[in-house]
Structure 1
């Protein structure tokens, strides 16, 4: 080193930094390894003036006229100078038993890297094809490569190729898997799946249960199940049975490019739309909305510490889990975080014996060293920088005599009620990754909760009601650490005059006064109207009572005259019957008189009752029954079992009901008690619970009618009349099979 030394610095890992005037910088590690840092490594100039170490461990380099340079995350190593490892087409990485790293490319064969130099192997060395898509190390220490021209084994420095001639279903191989029993599983591009037990190949196609013939990924979980990612969902192989899960089960897309298992036993699938977690019951998508850098997933790997790595077209993400196995945080690594490859290659990830991750990207291989990925334990310093009114900057000295130092915000700010549209501007100092700072804010008491984290460093509130407010904001660094003490600012918005207590009280008093005056006026008017109405009501009531009394007298006179006229008819029939000796004719005359007498009795009860619309039904039935017993002069002691609910019937119901009772009671008296000295007549009238249907139970315990059942008596005049009267009641009649003759009639009375 012939350049002039401009500064020397000792960092947190006890490494020595030396800056020069024209040769860049030199890094001495462990007093052994010297690394030269110049424009070739990313410096904007080799002319350096000074070095500075911040509290986050970043090295700041001051240049001579070219600005400031930050040297930060040292977790990623970019192998852009190593042949093979700098290839954009690295699709598989493994480590052999001698700790050499083998890199498979899509057009340059494979490269063996021993930590210093790389050695290339191609078809000229015996490799089946220079387009190698997958690789693995078996339990015997052999290396296997899946190429576009068959399967290649590397053993003891010699390559051996297996093709369709040896039993493979296709030479185009995309994925490889070594199961727990030592079998080799081969996924082909278009010809299904094959299993090799080191002696023969067993092939599986869609006929065996595969969801698709294009096999993109293979994985065996901790339970021994083999998961097969295809172009149409995923297939699980367990207990010699294939079970397929297609897009409809919850996948964002049918393409399954990579598969892994997390520390809780959940199976993860990578598609070109999202990641999918399967917990044994449900498929749950995880997208950019959850924190992924992209939904296009190229690789997945669960490392030895339980972290899940997801490689996308926009960087690589590390998912950490809480104690319940749920996602705790997703951290994105992109170019600014040191991951220069940005876009990952399909299934190109490997964890070596030192827990380093080797990742294939479109810019070559990148190694991640977790020991160098230091967690930022420093809280961001948060500050409220500015306050705007209606999106405009304001001279706050017009509102307050005193401004707060550092941010020039007014102290004890009081705003008028119409100055209620405010915008707060704030920022946090994070020297490591300032672009990854997230903010949460809350305006108390306007907001009940903190706003979700956001990258935006402004917050706008409009139409704020009067009150006392405090705006608070917190910041989070790139590793999820929030500052404990929020930055805050308090202010007040005054109440408008029309909302002040004295104005509201005045309005209330005025309203009550108006209500009182209006009520008083209305009350006076109402008393006058009521008095006039009362006089009219009295006059009208007197007129109605007079008319009602006249009507009642008239109705009673009508019922009395109808009853007298029916008595005249009965007398005429009696006189007429005296001129015949025919027994049948005499019987018919008696029946006619009984029917007329049953109707006359109704009119008699009508003019005797106080309510002209209704009569006492029990009194009526008792009178009718006794009258008929007297008429037929039965030489028998008859016990009357009469039970009548409290019901009221109009004359429209009473006429057919009375004729029906007359007919049935007459039949009982004529035929039911012949040859007996005692008898029982039953008449029960009841109303159901809904007070809609009436049930009439009527009959006797005598010998019964000579003609037997009701059906056989249909032709008799008596039964025809009974049916007519039941029909007039809108009812139904049945004859009961009890001893004697009993009928049950159900009807609904007319209003």
Structure 2
């Protein structure tokens, strides 16, 4: 079908520009629903342990990345209206309020500084520390400083309402006011800067931030300024924000200045240009009240009415909301010869990216709702593979290609140019080429295939991924590529810079072809997910692997050299919010960025911003408990560490030996991805497996010294270098203490020496007589024992012979019994008698008449049964796993009869018609008296009516086995587990 030339040109190449779309950054939000006590965050500070401290209108809140702990008047605060926070060099937190003065928090107590301490002010706006360690306060009545334990007013500055205070590294102090501009005090000299004598934008100073190489940043109600060498220079903001009210500053680890605006969002300033972030970029609100940068270089944003937000380094930029098109499913991505990104959706929308925004065509030649699977730019033309055949777009118009039969090619997924210039298409019916004005299928050696992808490598070969594996296009037909790996459902193909080919085998893993060698990588080689949909090798030797849950960036040099996966995983928590990458919708732009078509829109990866978080988690032990219950250690007489709140020099009596440890590691970049390893030195040597569980328990600890050690891993896989340790001891009872044992040994030794000395003479006299009596009695007992042994052996011999006669009689009788059922009964009786006869035979052949070795006994029973049923061990293999176990005669007979019944059933019913299999007998010792005997096979399994017959008691053999098991205080269980599995749990007499 051909469209008018002018219409196509206008639609596809000269489409009108739409308003610029907003880039969506990685911004997370916490509000009252997540535990924040109040939605207005006025100030943010991070301490050395990694906690974030938040000033709100409902008290002081501490945040560890997951949970909020809020301090109120009940905990010692003088007011809930917190206005400012400051962490001094001693790690004390200074808390300014709007109506109750100043407080200092030392980790356990809130110490007030008010009128009684000399602070004649209620509203505290800012706190700072000079290079000597002195604390300074900006208040509604002036500037105060701490001298000893009292606050003194700084009289060098006039009275008035001061909004901010800061100290430079050189020692200068700056104080911003509400109406009088800025004061600078250095070496006793006072400099007053206002709008009249400087470029200060406003006399209402709102924020101050010293920066070593950039002077001091000044925020006002009418814009931004910079103070360097006593001179103020106004920094022009973007035109639409020229007179914005600045509320706060922070610097990230690249020295970029972040500026919070009262009503206009955020500004990033690198010294040359500004970047403006608003609600359109992911902020919940444009009303910013506070900013802070944590140790991991995350930006924390306090807002007015929308709680706390976190901005993570944007190595992923998202384009989800387009004008008139919200969260489209980007199913096709390509890059033309000019480097322009082309994209298509599952609803048939088509666009070209121009200056980070798409130009959507208003009309397409294909019907609305057509899914665009892929795009192939080819010189001056563009091939569009869709659910409605193939479309070729040129500056002169468009042409539609389909198979003559409308049912033959329902979907065309991908296209590739051949070495001779032709175009080949992967379709739901196979590989097709152009034949006149329609598509024609190529013959396939494996019959009809569903081809999901086609790829031309650097050698000009055409590779095909299909539902039946890997194929190549050779001499006009589709030929199966034979490897020693049976892989199927190939959905994506890519090639690295060395010419190695990678194939996504969905739910099987990653297939690598290096020349003629093929290797399949699965979870055994470290692949975290075998459900691979798309693979893409970039120019930096990274392999991008898109699964149904995440995106992996795999280091190819390590994979090829060591055969192991070294990768970074990107999920929603680590910035990839597109949820799922569409099939073969990955492309690398000329600026090295990677573009992903996802189920929510378009995502761009910026490699120069992707710096892993190498900051080790801040690990802490939060609680130690007895018997898994909260423990008041002070009540038990143990002093507490003022910083950790844990008991010091913990020495527990031997009766209190059940301890639980609660712990936590702060990783604000990804608290959900933190993993722990721990061990208790003195109890175990190896570390526990990595786990997300933040508690552990040790019970029944023996007396001794112990050290609990803890490691934590951050969201990027970096472990803490040194473990956190906590030492304690379990004190032994008095009778196990060294001094007591020493005294006791001395007493016992003295008593023994005395007794020995007193009895030595009498013992010497009696020794000779006793030796004679013992010798005589020993010879007498040996003769009696030998006679008894001979007698017992003779008895067992006669019993064995009698049992042999019984078996012979049974054999003779069985020959004259025509009924097969009766013959089976008599054969079962014979095998039971034979198992008892074997035992008596062992007793008269061996000297040990009291203990029977179960392994030898079971083996003889089995050999006898195999011979009886005419079954060789080559056909039904016998596997015995019996530890060295000896039992008395009565127990041996009972166990032998049970084994006889179970093995007989296996040989009779498990392997009919000459089938081969395995019979396995396993004895498991649980302790000195408790055992489990398991007889299993891989045969036909239990019949469907087995349990019904068992309940009705039709089988004499089952009744016999259950009766015998009760004799051993045990019980039998029968299972269908790839055959029959019979399990006897029993107890041997002690």
Instruction: Identify the TM-score tier after normalising by the shorter chain.
Output: 0.5 to 0.7
Equivalent residue in structure 1 for 2:490, among 249, 256, 261 = 256
1:301 aligns with 2:542: no
User: For 1:202 and 1:154, how far apart are their aligned partners in 2?
Assistant: 20
Q: 1:693-719: CA deviations, max 9, x gaps? A: xxxxxxxxxxxxxxxxxxxxxxxxxxx
- Contact map agreement 1:417 1:496 (CA 8 A) in 2: yes
- Contact map agreement 2:403 2:439 (CA 8 A) in 1: no
Q: 1:589-612: CA deviations, max 9, x gaps? A: xxxxxxxxxxxxxxxxxxxxxxxx
1:26 aligns with 2:267: yes
Q: 1:632-656: CA deviations, max 9, x gaps? A: xxxxxxxxxxxxxxxxxxxxxxxxx
The 3 A distance-change label for structure 1 pair 378 and 197 is farther
Could you say what secondary structure the match of 1:112 adopts?
A: strand
User: For 1:317 and 1:103, how far apart are their aligned partners in 2?
Assistant: 22
- Please report how far the alpha carbon of residue 407 of structure 1 lies from its aligned counterpart in structure 2 after TM superposition: 1.6
The 3 A distance-change label for structure 1 pair 182 and 531 is same
- Please report how far the alpha carbon of residue 133 of structure 1 lies from its aligned counterpart in structure 2 after TM superposition: 0.9
1:319 aligns with 2:564: no
The 3 A distance-change label for structure 1 pair 484 and 116 is closer
- Contact map agreement 2:293 2:299 (CA 8 A) in 1: yes
- Please report how far the alpha carbon of residue 219 of structure 1 lies from its aligned counterpart in structure 2 after TM superposition: 3.4
Partner of 2:381 in structure 1?
142
Equivalent residue in structure 2 for 1:335, among 559, 568, 572 = 572
**Whose Rg is larger?**
1
Q: 1:399-426: CA deviations, max 9, x gaps? A: 6654334222222222233433322222
Could you say what secondary structure the match of 1:176 adopts?
A: strand
The 3 A distance-change label for structure 1 pair 536 and 467 is closer
Output aligned runs, 1:229-240, within 5 Å.
Answer: 229-235=465-471
User: For 2:780 and 2:425, how far apart are their aligned partners in 1?
Assistant: 109
Output aligned runs, 1:50-449, within 5 Å.
Answer: 50-82=290-322, 88-121=328-361, 124-125=364-365, 130-138=370-378, 140=379, 142-156=381-395, 158-165=397-404, 170=409, 172-178=411-417, 183-189=422-428, 191-195=429-433, 203-206=441-444, 208-209=445-446, 213-220=449-456, 226-235=462-471, 242-243=479-480, 249=485, 254-261=488-495, 267-273=501-507, 275-278=509-512, 280-286=517-523, 290=526, 292=528, 295-320=530-555, 323=558, 324-397=561-634, 401-449=638-686
User: For 2:597 and 2:266, how far apart are their aligned partners in 1?
Assistant: 29
- Contact map agreement 1:466 1:492 (CA 8 A) in 2: yes
Output aligned runs, 1:341-740, within 5 Å.
Answer: 341-397=578-634, 401-496=638-733, 527-528=772-773, 530-531=775-776
Could you say what secondary structure the match of 2:776 adopts?
A: helix
Partner of 1:567 in structure 2?
none
Partner of 2:3 in structure 1?
none
- Please report how far the alpha carbon of residue 429 of structure 1 lies from its aligned counterpart in structure 2 after TM superposition: 2.3
The 3 A distance-change label for structure 1 pair 414 and 477 is same
Partner of 1:17 in structure 2?
258
User: For 1:419 and 1:523, how far apart are their aligned partners in 2?
Assistant: 55
User: For 1:376 and 1:533, how far apart are their aligned partners in 2?
Assistant: 81
Higher helix share: 1
Consecutive unaligned residues of structure 2, counting only runs of 5 or more, are 1-240, 784-990
The 3 A distance-change label for structure 1 pair 437 and 321 is farther
User: For 1:267 and 1:304, how far apart are their aligned partners in 2?
Assistant: 14
User: For 1:460 and 1:265, how far apart are their aligned partners in 2?
Assistant: 53
- Contact map agreement 2:571 2:579 (CA 8 A) in 1: yes
1:37 aligns with 2:257: no
Consecutive unaligned residues of structure 1, counting only runs of 5 or more, are 539-751
User: For 1:533 and 1:476, how far apart are their aligned partners in 2?
Assistant: 71
User: For 1:134 and 1:125, how far apart are their aligned partners in 2?
Assistant: 16
- Contact map agreement 1:388 1:394 (CA 8 A) in 2: yes
Partner of 2:247 in structure 1?
6
- Please report how far the alpha carbon of residue 273 of structure 1 lies from its aligned counterpart in structure 2 after TM superposition: 2.9
- Contact map agreement 2:265 2:276 (CA 8 A) in 1: no
What's the TM-score, normalizing by structure 2? 0.47
Q: 1:470-512: CA deviations, max 9, x gaps? A: 222222222222221221112222345666677699799999x
What RMSD over aligned residues (CA atoms) do the two structures have, in Å?
4.4
The 3 A distance-change label for structure 1 pair 306 and 418 is farther
User: For 2:395 and 2:305, how far apart are their aligned partners in 1?
Assistant: 57
- Please report how far the alpha carbon of residue 107 of structure 1 lies from its aligned counterpart in structure 2 after TM superposition: 1.9
- Contact map agreement 1:127 1:159 (CA 8 A) in 2: no
- Contact map agreement 1:128 1:147 (CA 8 A) in 2: no
- Please report how far the alpha carbon of residue 173 of structure 1 lies from its aligned counterpart in structure 2 after TM superposition: 0.6
Could you say what secondary structure the match of 1:531 adopts?
A: helix
- Please report how far the alpha carbon of residue 96 of structure 1 lies from its aligned counterpart in structure 2 after TM superposition: 1.0
Could you say what secondary structure the match of 2:313 adopts?
A: coil
- Contact map agreement 2:348 2:368 (CA 8 A) in 1: no
- Please report how far the alpha carbon of residue 365 of structure 1 lies from its aligned counterpart in structure 2 after TM superposition: 0.9
- Contact map agreement 1:264 1:325 (CA 8 A) in 2: no
User: For 2:682 and 2:780, how far apart are their aligned partners in 1?
Assistant: 64
User: For 1:136 and 1:535, how far apart are their aligned partners in 2?
Assistant: 105
Could you say what secondary structure the match of 1:161 adopts?
A: strand
Q: 1:369-397: CA deviations, max 9, x gaps? A: 11122222322222222212221222233
- Contact map agreement 2:387 2:412 (CA 8 A) in 1: yes
Aligned residues: 526
User: For 2:308 and 2:327, how far apart are their aligned partners in 1?
Assistant: 32
The 3 A distance-change label for structure 1 pair 181 and 29 is farther
User: For 2:670 and 2:588, how far apart are their aligned partners in 1?
Assistant: 26
- Contact map agreement 1:59 1:71 (CA 8 A) in 2: yes
Partner of 1:579 in structure 2?
none
User: For 2:748 and 2:457, how far apart are their aligned partners in 1?
Assistant: 76
Partner of 1:657 in structure 2?
none
Q: 1:329-372: CA deviations, max 9, x gaps? A: 33332223332221222221111111111111111111111112
The 3 A distance-change label for structure 1 pair 54 and 411 is same
- Please report how far the alpha carbon of residue 162 of structure 1 lies from its aligned counterpart in structure 2 after TM superposition: 2.8
- Please report how far the alpha carbon of residue 51 of structure 1 lies from its aligned counterpart in structure 2 after TM superposition: 1.7
Could you say what secondary structure the match of 2:471 adopts?
A: strand
User: For 1:444 and 1:174, how far apart are their aligned partners in 2?
Assistant: 59
Q: 1:531-569: CA deviations, max 9, x gaps? A: 37879999xxxxxxxxxxxxxxxxxxxxxxxxxxxxxxx
- Please report how far the alpha carbon of residue 49 of structure 1 lies from its aligned counterpart in structure 2 after TM superposition: 1.4
Partner of 2:44 in structure 1?
none
